[in-house]
Structure 1
């Protein structure tokens, strides 16, 4: 008899949910998915830091950092002009703060990066095509 842990099962369900969301997503929706995942990773990183859990905090922080890089790389500077440049500056500052949060006592950097990025995520949601 084999038992699968509920935690492992939950991870599988989340992966299936993410894959199904991505498969039929428009470019706009893909960015929303990235923001959703980014904010989840930052929330997890903050939670781990507040609990003094250094390794999980660093793992979540690394995932968040990779997503910020992906968001910056997705910017179209030819079509986006000044807006793309402004977003690039915000992404770089958020990335700097995330990467500077190398220990659990730097949780304030994670929180400030999350606040910056949450504002952009909310703005992105408001311009979602209907």
Structure 2
């Protein structure tokens, strides 16, 4: 088995594991999966930017913005009120930072967006209903 086929096989296993996790998840766990996926995607975007891989940067940027949009659309302003509004502002700011194009400062902006989201992810994990 070649190295490339091992990577492809591992990638398929990871994909199946994520799909299984999502299929069995409750709404709380789905949001946790989105935060995890967003963090991983932002990490890949930063790595791609450091390598100068523009194609991957655009791919990961699009995925990150899509996840942020999903998180934002899931906010219930009637139930969560001020908290939902605060999260909306944070998600909007994170999206702005991810969209910046200046190469040198882009990495710093994406890192700051990742940190903003990571803080929310930690809080979400801390209030886990199964903890």
Q: Which TM-score applies when normalising by structure 2?
A: 0.91
Runs of 4 or more consecutive aligned structure 1 residues displaced over 6 Å after TM superposition: none
**2:57 corresponding residue in structure 1:** 57
Q: Secondary structure at the match of 1:129?
A: coil
After TM superposition, give the deviation of residue 24 of structure 1 in Å.
Answer: 1.1
**2:110 corresponding residue in structure 1:** 110
- CA distance in 1 between partners of 2:102 and 2:24 (Å): 38
Which consecutive residues of structure 2, in runs of 5 or more, have no partner in the other structure? none
Higher mean Cα deviation, 52-61 or 77-86?
A: 52-61
Which consecutive residues of structure 1, in runs of 5 or more, have no partner in the other structure? none
After TM superposition, give the deviation of residue 46 of structure 1 in Å.
Answer: 0.4
Aligned residues: 127
- CA distance in 1 between partners of 2:98 and 2:112 (Å): 9
Higher mean Cα deviation, 53-62 or 22-31?
A: 53-62
- CA distance in 2 between partners of 1:123 and 1:22 (Å): 20
- CA distance in 2 between partners of 1:111 and 1:70 (Å): 20
- CA distance in 2 between partners of 1:108 and 1:51 (Å): 15
Report matched runs for 1:4-15 at 5 Å. Answer: 5-15=5-15
- CA distance in 1 between partners of 2:78 and 2:6 (Å): 47
Q: Deviations over 1:51-72 (max 9, x none)?
A: 1211112211211111000000
Q: Which TM-score applies when normalising by structure 1?
A: 0.92
